[in-house]
A and B are shown apart, each in its own frame.
Chain A
Amino acid sequence: MADGKAKSGLLLDIRNLRIEATVYPPGEAPKTITLVHDVSLTLEKGKVLGLIGESGAGKSTIGLSSMGYGRGGVRITGGEVILNGRDILKGGKEGFRKLRGREVCYVAQSAAAAFNPAHRLMDQVVEASLLHGTATRAEAEKRAVALFKKLSLPNPEIIGERFPHQVSGGQLQRVMTAMALCSEPDLIVFDEPTTALDVTTQIDVLAAIKDAIRDTHVAALYITHDLAVVAQVSDEIMVLRHGRLVEWGGTRQIIKEPRQEYTNALVSVHEIEHREQQPGTTPMLSVKNVTAAYGGGHVKVLKNVSVDIFPGQTLAVVGESGSGKSTLARAITGLLPPEQGSVVFDGRTLGNKLSDRPKEDLRQLQMIYQMADVAMNPRQTVGTIIGRPLEFYFGMKGRERDKRVNELLDEIEMGKGFIDRYPAELSGGQKQRVCIARSLAAKPKLIICDEVTSALDPLVANGILKLLLNLQQVEKVAYLFITHDLATVKSIADSIAVMYRGEVVRYGSKSKVLTPPFDAYTDLLLSSVPEMEIGWLEKAIAGRRMESAGN
Chain B
Amino acid sequence: MSVLTPRARSVESKHTQVAIYSMGGEISSEQAVRGAIQMHSKRVWRFGLALSGASDVADDLLQSTCLRALERHHQVTSHDRLDSWLMTICRSIWLNEVRARSVRKAQALSVTPEADLIAPGNDSETNIFATEVFTQVMQLPEAQRETVVLVFVEGYSYREAAALLEVPIGTIMSRLSNARQKLKTVMQHEAADTVRRSGK
* Bind each other: no
Instruction: Name B residues whose Cβ lies closer than 8 Å to a Cβ of A.
Output: none
